[in-house]
Amino acid sequence: MKNLLKAYFGYEEFRPMQLDIINSILQNQDTFILMPTGGGKSLCYQFPALKFNGLTLIISPLIALMKDQVDSLKANGISAEFINSSLSYTDIIDIQYRIYQGETKILYVAPERLAQDSFKKFLKTLDLSLIAVDEAHCISEWGHEFRPDYRSLKNLRIMFPKVPMVALTATATKKVREDIINQLSLKNPKIFISSCNRENLNLLVMKKKNSFDKILELIKKHENEQIIIYCFSRKETEKMAGDLIERGYKAVFYHAGLNDETRKKNQELFIKDEVQIIAATIAFGMGIDKSNVRMVIHCTFPKTIEGYYQEIGRAGRDGLKSDCVMFYAARDKRKHDFFINQIENEKTREYQKGKLREIIDYAESLSCRRKYILNYFGEECSNEKCNACDICLTKKELFNATKIAQNIFSCIDLTGGFFGTNYIIKVLKGKESVKDWHKKFFVFGIEKDFSDDELKEIILSLINLDFIKKSEGDYPTLSLTFKAREFLQTPVKIEIQKPKEEEKIITKKIKEDLDYDRILFRKLKELRKKIADERNVPAFVIFGNASLQEMAYYFPCNKESFLKINGVGETKLKSFGDVFLKVINEYVGENGFEKG
């Protein structure tokens, strides 16, 4: 098995679970796989396809991706085809003929094909060994990406009762999981659930204040690396891209309002690394297989945690460290409310409101972000600290908040529990705009030394410590809990975390996985781009960044050592070995480095 893995995919080892999954499939078991984006799902059906005698049929909704996947497989020496609406009738006939001849191991199709009688008839003539349903959550109405087309997949079990089926997804709650298994009629499926944890993603939440300056800092940190910036509206994407271009960056924008041609062009520019940054609405990303995105920024917090996790999942698919930054401002809730309030069905509306509360809760939480997300998806998290989120990366400095807590509680109490955070802060800071009779309270203007942001964070801490209760709804008000009333009677020492400084987090260097040679890496990237452009495929089809970094670290000088690089298999060695070795050897010779 390992020899095949190296020869065809160029990898030294299976990732956790891959081998168990592959063995289950090879025993003709129906199999269900839940694995995070970038976890290595594709290999779980591509590898068995090599071992099976017949054809492996893969159903995927991601039409835009099929060509790339098939190109990747071909670059690895595996015969694969795809059939979807982007092909002409004659192309399809040609391909079907080749498949019929038994020359093909893997066939990708879009789900709508399976509703066509002619295609079903064609399938019936084939020797199918395995059916893989990718993005399987699309079959469930409970999922967030339901696709009516997926309904026709129910027929597969009836048409091919004996062919093993594997369903794969990255996002599924228990309910969706059961729904998938039912709808596809999987028989006693073996279920593999790998952790949702994406260790290489840094999860950062930042205050949405001077956010453009912060974004510029973040981009500086990721010089020459690919970045997605998600904006809330189409207009914002255009402004963001425009502002960045003004600063000398190569940027494009992307949203559903653009005509097909422009949308495709802008997407292509980003995928081919011609531009560094794409400013997009969430219309961008589905069906994009780009492994070297180093940072995903959300200018406005998204509307669900599921959506957020999927969007940031587009970062770091090559396994290298990447930053995910969410800019949070409580005021942005109004933007979401506007759309949620337009939902007519009451049940759906309430459901969406609940989802929104959860993501706000995430953003306002003062404990480890990763732990929060993993718990949200029903996973235990053994570590207290992940060391890769803004909370864990901030050194905790406590300060004695007894006095200020007393003032905040008194202020909430005196104003009757009818006001929200911002108003309470105004009173504490002695702002003229508060109601006249509130100016008579002793707390009026008592905390002038703290900034609004600091006071906000202190109040948040006190909410988290259950001293203050924040009501739900559109205009949340603050009131005191029993614990706070007790405290006002007999004060005890309250210690909370000092409001944190975000700048430190921005500049914190992400730990690199390998200390590779930057100049050689750039040269190899240029070579990769040249080859990719000649072949009209995305760069990752040639080699991933992780492979190039290994080359720029180990300096392989002959075919034997080149083959040791992760991601180099027999076919890639043959196709690209010579040209890459030439660049490496030249570089090593010029600099007098030791060869690998």
List interacting residues with ligand ADP (CB under 6 A). 11, 13-15, 18, 35, 37-43, 291, 317-318, 544, 566
Return the residue of 25, 389, 446, 573 that touches Zn ion, per CB under 5 A: 389
The enclosing H or E element of 326 equals strand 322-328
Q: Which one of 73-81, 119-127, 362-370, 474-482 is the stretch in contact with Zn ion (CB under 5 A)?
A: 362-370
* Residue 374 vs 404, nearer CB to Zn ion: 374
Q: How far apart are CA 313 and CA 309, in angstroms?
A: 6
Q: What's the order of all strands across the beta sheet hosting 201-207?
A: 201-207, 322-328, 293-298, 226-230, 277-280, 251-254
**Could you give the count of Cα atoms lying within 13 Å of 287 in the half-sphere of its Cβ?**
15
* Residue 10 vs 302, nearer CB to ligand ADP: 10
Asked if 368 is part of the footprint of Zn ion (rule: CB under 5 A), the reply reads: yes
| DSSP helix, strand, coil percent of the chain (3-state; round to 5) | 50, 15, 40
In the three-class reduction of DSSP (H, G, I as helix; E, B as strand; rest coil), residue 252 is classed as: strand
For residue 386, the partner it binds in Zn ion, ligand ADP, none, with Cβ less than 5 to 8 A by kind, is: Zn ion
Asked if 168 is part of the footprint of Zn ion (rule: CB under 5 A), the reply reads: no
Q: How far apart are CA 266 and CA 243, in angstroms?
A: 17
Q: How far apart are CA 36 and CA 194, in angstroms?
A: 7
For residue 368, the partner it binds in Zn ion, ligand ADP, none, with Cβ less than 5 to 8 A by kind, is: Zn ion
For residue 38, the partner it binds in ligand ADP, Zn ion, none, with Cβ less than 5 to 8 A by kind, is: ligand ADP
Asked if 201 is part of the footprint of Zn ion (rule: CB under 5 A), the reply reads: no
> Could you tell me the smallest distance in angstroms from the CB atom of residue 369 to Zn ion?
5
DSSP state, residue 389: B
* Residue 270 vs 327, nearer CB to ligand ADP: 270
Q: How far apart are CA 305 and CA 435, in angstroms?
A: 38
Q: How far apart are CA 333 and CA 312, in angstroms?
A: 20
Asked if 386 is part of the footprint of Zn ion (rule: CB under 5 A), the reply reads: yes
Q: How far apart are CA 286 and CA 282, in angstroms?
A: 8
> Could you tell me the smallest distance in angstroms from the CB atom of residue 469 to ligand ADP?
41
Asked if 326 is part of the footprint of Zn ion (rule: CB under 5 A), the reply reads: no
Return the residue of 180, 186, 392, 494 that touches Zn ion, per CB under 5 A: 392
* Residue 75 vs 505, nearer CB to Zn ion: 505
> Could you tell me the smallest distance in angstroms from the CB atom of residue 386 to Zn ion?
3
Give 254's strand partners. 280
> Could you tell me the smallest distance in angstroms from the CB atom of residue 293 to ligand ADP?
12
> Could you tell me the smallest distance in angstroms from the CB atom of residue 392 to Zn ion?
3
* Residue 46 vs 477, nearer CB to ligand ADP: 46
* Residue 318 vs 390, nearer CB to ligand ADP: 318
For residue 41, the partner it binds in Zn ion, ligand ADP, none, with Cβ less than 5 to 8 A by kind, is: ligand ADP
**Could you give the count of Cα atoms lying within 13 Å of 211 in the half-sphere of its Cβ?**
18
Nearest to 87 by CA among 104, 103, 63: 63
Report how many residues bind Zn ion under the rule CB under 5 A: 5
> Could you tell me the smallest distance in angstroms from the CB atom of residue 381 to Zn ion?
9
Asked if 33 is part of the footprint of Zn ion (rule: CB under 5 A), the reply reads: no
Burial class of residue 184 (count of CB atoms within 10 Å of its CB; 0-12, 13-18, 19+): buried
- Residues at the contact surface with Zn ion, assessed by CB under 5 A: 368, 370, 386, 389, 392
